[in-house]
Structure 1
Amino acid sequence: MKQFISTLLFFLILQNAFSQTKFPILELSKNSLNYKGFPKNATDRKSLAFSDKGAWFGFGFLEPGSIQGGFSGPFLMTEQNGVWLSSSFVSLRLLNDNKQDEINWEKSLVNQNSYNSHLEQLFQNELLEVKQQLVFFSGNTAIQKTSITNRSSKKISLNPVFDSKTYLNTIQFSKENQTLKLISSKSNAVGYIQFFDKNTVIETTNEGYSAKLNLITVKPNETKEIIVSQSYIFPQYSWENEKIKISKSTFNSVLSTNQQAKEKELAQLIAKKKMVYNGDDYSVFLAKLILTLQNNTRIAAEGLKHEGVFPSYNYEWFHGFWAWDSWKHAAALAHFSPELAKNQMRALFDYQEPNGFIPDCIYRDTTIEPNNYRNTKAPLAAWAVWEIYKQNKDVSFIKEMYPKLKKYHDWWYKERDHDQDGLCEFGSTDGSVIAAKWESGMDNAVRFDNSKILKNGEKAYSLDQESVDLNSFLYAEKNYLAKMAQVLKLADEEKKWKSESNTLKIQIQTQFWDATTGWFYDTSIDGKTSVKDMGCEGFLPLWTEVATSEQANAIKNNLLNPITFNTFVPLPTLAANNPKFNPEDGYWRGPIWLDQVYFGINGLEKYGYKKEVDLLTGKLIQNTEGALEKGMSIRENYHPKTGKGLEAQNFSWSAAHFLLLILNN
């Protein structure tokens, strides 16, 4: 019944939308992120960049004081973990017969608008109106259209010239007919800038280029168009095929198709919102969340064999796929891009080792940074696969992933259970404590301050404590694997997973629970001593539904207590009354991480605490800096007492978990 109502609501939204204006739902995404800036050099990361279709490059708007006749960028993620090729590489000048600029871009700027589908900017003076639009044609190509309209009563002749200098000394420029070719010494990707005027004259230098197009004459009220495509393409893709596809397309058809797709995507998600988030402000918020994930999406390239999502393109060292992040991204992507969600999962399992191990993170170019095999990450893969299955009921995907998930699950008990008591520990493959902490995902959490490393075997080490979150995740995995076995009609395996789940449930409920404080804690290997720092790991048993109802009630009381977890932005990673609480720059020692907040709130929801769920979610969204404000990006984490955004901008798993919190699932 719920599915029928959501479907009906979706079609009503679309019907109402098309009766008013062409893309009114897409209008909600207008300027949801601020792409204005001026990249002063190649590594200036103050500006955000818009991208789509999984492209390894992006663009923005030049801010007042630096306006040119083009978009900022491109920001190339094809090399050096992201560099600006230029402030505006495809920048247009319109010269009159006296070789003077016919339009002053700075003085003539009317507006700059971004949508989830494209970028556009408008210029006007007494003679001309110039509209520029940029849309992604594919993961390899963006197309820019400049429409020039004569506002005067007389014919105007213009000499269009594109020219620019690059910030990079790694680029070699050459020309092939009407195409400018860019070869970099730092990347295997090749750039192609196509000018579709057959008489374009291209000149190159070591620093840049100029491209002079044919003289154009514009009559009063007439509009002339200039189309330029920008492609940055890795060797695994065919430039010849891409070029043919571009030649068979028109800018207007590409833009319209993209607008329709984004309109439908956003309308579908709006129809899935929980009723409490029914207002337009939450629809605008949804558009920002989707766009955050969109800007971080990359098509398969070199070492990344499947498409997936970066944690943040804006931060230099987040240009790869992390296991923990990937599972979380996939769970959210399942709601609107199930194929991308599947490929996000496949990307990490491409690197699964014969013993089941999954590396912590993988990269396109391992000469910049090697893949990290020192540790893995907490086991959330089965959850993500099941979330994907819930959305599309694709049994073939379950069949594909189930054997890999089993192997990964079993690996934990072979390599990370020091005393073979059925309770696992975080650890590392190289025997280092730091990598073992990384494996938890909570790199510097207070609970690990006194941890030591123990050897289990060859390339297998454990911390000297059994962690409640890890074992809760493994409990959940057993339940998800049981469901998958049922889908695949593997009755004996389903029975096995359920039996193991029941055994582990009792172990977690007894060993990690402290009735005095009403909280779950890590313990020593022998289970006799609790690591009594009240952190977010202690409410994970709610999300995995391993806690008893009495335990859940006690945890709920702690979560609602303003002294511990009910801060201005609720559910910090460490109780606010802990002496080591550091909300400003503590990383995992106090700041708000959206994944953990989601686990806490969704856990309360599973135990029926609806009023508390609405209270905490409302505080979270209202009090995190810029969440509901157009222009401000989603951050890596937040200050629990002020709401200030912290660390990386444009952070994917924050967007993913915000999205999961406001959607019906």
Structure 2
Amino acid sequence: MKHKNTTLLLLAFAFISIGHAQKKFPNLESSKNSLNYKGRPSNASDRKSLAFSDKGAWFAFGFLESSAAQGGFSGPYLLTEQNGVWISPSFISLHLMNENQKEIIDWKMTLVNQNSYNSHLEQEFKNDKITVKQQLFFVSGHTALQKTTITNRSSQKISLFPSCESKLFLDDLQLSKENQQLKIVSTKSEAIGYIQFSNATAIEITKEGYKVQIEKLTLKPNETKEILVSQTFIFPQYSWQKEKESLTKINFETELERNKKEKELQLAKLIANKKDIYKNEIYSNLVAKLVLTLQNNTRIAAEGLRHDGLFPSYNYQWFNGFWAWDSWKHAVAVANYNPELAKNQIRAMFDYQEPNGFIPDCIYRDHLIEQNNYRNTKSPLAAWAVWKTFEKSKDKKFLAEMYPKLKAYHNWWYKERDHDQDGLCEFGSTDGTLIAAKWESGMDNAVRFDNSTILKNSEGAYSLDRESVDLNSFLYAEKLFLSNIAAIISLPIETATLKKEALHLKEKIQKQFWDQETAWFYDSTIDGTTLLKDMGCEGYLPIWAKVATPTQVKMAKENMMNPAIFNTFVPLPTLAADHPKFKPEGGYWRGPIWLDQSYFGIKGLYNYGYTAEANELSHKLIHNAEGVMQAGEAIRENYQPLTGKGLESFNFSWSAAHYLMLLLKE
């Protein structure tokens, strides 16, 4: 009877604790497990599972699935080398031995739950003798803290002999003991790892890994004791000594509580800014999932990446860098909750601006793995990103800092990418290759470029033999954003000049790229006499940029709302569904849904007052794309427009960014 009462008391306490957490952190609780981090890394390069990180750290963790459970989290997954590798299945794997040197708990059989939050990870194991709870969160961009609490559930005193040990996947890592801590050095990275264990009594470097013995724990009935471990992976540009000193001042519970409050407040502010049509809690949980997707891709400055920013996807081997137009889009979304990160994402690309104004396509941390790509740039959305970031930050100094750089980049297009100097630009390349010129558009294999050729403008400057409607719409919008910036920083002459240039360009776009018969905007031949009638997503951009006439938008809207053309199951594909070359799966830019383009189309309809139509397309985009509304499912790089199937990379930043933009008020 006494045992039964104790059990009921513990259950009651558990329910009270859950209720308290839900009341104190309602958004974190409601959105828990929005991404599934469970997996079973079988080798260093296994990318089948996702991983959690925070604070811009270059490493991440997950959960071991129940059939492979150990006394620790999976990982770390190191982004400090080789574009992402698992150091081991579970590097900090706890063992709890009794006095007979037998494991007191079967981790696989006693796993009770695993829960992930935007703030931290936690898991719990329980048998008839003990309860083990583990929590992990990032205290900085260099260090994660892990706490294990062990509670004696029995009526007898228990003695435990804890240890941690692991075997490594990687043969390039060298482990050593340094001042009662484990040091990890790699031959493939400058970053150094430091693992500190509370109350370690012995550290042994083994042939395949390490083993750490922790002092004996004696627990009376219902008594709880803790084991703390810090895991630091830090690049030489940062001070390990300062990081180590800061860790001595941290209280785990206090810091975790602070982290929860920070994340809860972040979500609360975003949720309060949702559009009225998205007030339902399911969209609040989606907001949390989108922010977490962006969080997992965020990296602090390191080596070749001189400012903080976001990867397109840490989960894909070749997306471990910053891309120009990805960066502009990331910044616009991130500015809604972290304007400083948005500013730094923009600065990261401008760190590599050439004297002539050119911005490279992509930049990387380690140039021995991948070289920055100077063969092409990307569509000019930088001024949009700067202006949208200013709207959230109100930082005039940032505008003053960026304006001359933006102006140089804007002018570069007219110097290097206007073959016939008629004021309408073309995509192109610096090395004269056709493939790089297509990359510059961002729509690498789009049908509109199938029969294109390359033209030389000057040394190191080449153009495709067509003037693109999306590029010139971007440049029109950029003139207006630059004009806005010039006005704020008191440059009245430049403000007026840019507005005048925009008006002149607007007239050209409306006339040269519009086809009255099919009611769509197309690229044209370089002389402007012939439209290249492959109906694609580039036609959304004059509507987004507000360069189209109201009549043109009214007509184009009919195509956008037509199920046989653009209003597919997941709407606004990159190529019209009735085009003979439409390839909805495996087509890349020849049919699949890319969220940036769908966003531009929907935002364009909002711009011209077609709210009902924009809402309809938004609803389908959110609800019909596979996994977007499902807890545990990752946001994908693109989607199949007819079925909604997720395609290409997982955990894709710009998809998350544009979904977030759709959900929020301006």
Determine if the alignment matches structure 1 residue 262 to structure 2 residue 271.
Answer: no
Other-structure match for 1:127: 129
Deviation at 1:29, TM superposition (A): 2.3
Contact 1:18 1:24 in 2 (8 A): no
Letter in 1 for 2:226: E
In structure 1, the partner of 2:355 is: 354
Q: Does the 8 Å CA contact 2:576/2:591 hold for their aligned counterparts?
A: yes
Corresponding residue of 1:4? none
For residue 200 of structure 1, give the secondary structure of its aligned residue in structure 2.
strand
1:42 aligns to what? 44
Aligned counterparts of 1:476 and 1:452: Cα–Cα separation in 2: 27
Alignment of 1:428-447 (within 5 A): 428-447=429-448
Structure 1 residues 210-359: aligned runs within 5 Å: 210-359=211-360
**Alignment match of 2:139 (pick from 137, 140, 152):** 137
Residue 148 of structure 1 aligns to a residue whose secondary structure is strand
Secondary structure, aligned partner of 1:636: strand
Where do 5+ consecutive residues of structure 1 fail to align? 1-16
Judge conservation of contact 1:28–1:287 (CA < 8 Å) in 2.
Answer: no
Query: Aligned with 1:583: secondary structure?
Result: coil
Among 89, 99, 106, which residue is 1:97 paired with?
99
Give distance in 2, aligned partners of 1:19 and 1:392.
32
Query: Partners of 2:497 and 2:203 in 1: how far apart?
Result: 69
Q: Output aligned runs, 1:104-115, within 5 Å.
A: 104-115=106-117
Quote the offset at 1:392 in angstroms: 2.0
Structure 2 contact 27–285 (Cα < 8 Å) conserved:
no
**1:593-624 deviations in Å (ceiling 9; x for gaps):** 00000000000000000000111001111100
Q: Is the Cα contact below 8 Å between 2:55 and 2:140 reproduced in 1?
A: yes
Percent identity over the alignment? Answer: 67
Structure 2: give runs of 5+ residues left out of the alignment: 1-18
Task: Describe the SS at the equivalent of 1:568.
Answer: coil
1:366-413 C-alpha deviation (Å, 9 max, x unpaired): 100100000000000000000011112111110110010000000000
- Equivalent residues of 1:172, 1:206 under 8 A apart: no
Letter in 2 for 1:225: E
Say if 1:135 and 1:254, in contact at 8 Å, map to a contact too: no
- Structure 2 distance, partners of 1:393, 1:174, is 49
* Residues 467, 522 of structure 1: 8 Å contact kept: yes
CA–CA distance in structure 2, aligned partners of residues 201 and 53 of structure 1: 31
In the TM superposition, what is the alpha-carbon distance from 1:309 to its structure 2 partner?
0.2
TM-score by length of 2: 0.97
Q: Find the aligned partners of 2:248 and 2:201 in 1 and give their Cα distance.
A: 17
1:570-595 per-residue CA deviation (whole Å, 9 max, x = no partner) reads 00000000010000100000000000
Q: CA deviation at 1:629?
A: 0.4
Question: CA deviation digits over 1:544-573, x for unaligned, max 9?
Answer: 000000001111110000110000000000
Q: C-alpha separation between the residues in 2 aligned to 1:524 and 1:645?
A: 35
- Aligned residue number for residue 177 of structure 2: 175
Q: d(CA) in 2 for partners of 1:525 and 1:28?
A: 54
Is 1:366 the counterpart of 2:394? The answer is no
Equivalent AA in structure 2 for residue 261 of structure 1: E
- How many equivalent residue pairs? 648
Query: Given residue 604 of structure 2, which amino acid in structure 1 is its aligned partner?
Result: G
Q: Separation in 2 of the partners of 1:18 and 1:126?
A: 26
- Aligned partner of 1:380 in structure 2 is 381
Shift of 1:250: 1.1
SS at match of 2:605: helix
- Name the structure 1 match of 2:63: 61
Q: After superposition, give the CA deviation of every residue in 1:233-257 in whole Å (9 maximum; x if it has no partner).
A: 0000100000000011011111111
Q: 1:186-585 to 2 correspondence within 5 Å?
A: 186-197=188-199, 199-585=200-586
Deviation at 1:18, TM superposition (A): 8.8
The corresponding residue for 1:24 is 26
The secondary structure found in structure 1 opposite 2:313 is coil
Please state how far the C-alpha of 1:423 moved relative to its aligned partner: 0.2
SS at match of 1:331: helix
Q: Which residue of 2 aligns with 1:6?
A: none
Using structure 1 for the length normalisation, give the TM-score: 0.97
Amino acid in structure 2 at the alignment position of 1:500: E
1:206 CA drift (Å) = 3.9
User: For 2:24 and 2:273, how far apart are their aligned partners in 1?
Assistant: 22
CA distance in 1, matches of 2:150, 2:23: 25
Where 2:587 maps in the other structure, the secondary structure is coil
1:590 paired residue number: 591
Does the 8 Å contact 2:60/2:76 carry over to 1?
yes
Distance (whole Å) between structure 2 residues aligned to residue 173 and residue 128 of structure 1: 32
Regions of 4+ moved over 6 Å:
17-20
Q: 1:105 to 1:19 in 2, by over 3 A?
A: closer
8 A contact 1:312–1:650 mirrored in 2: yes
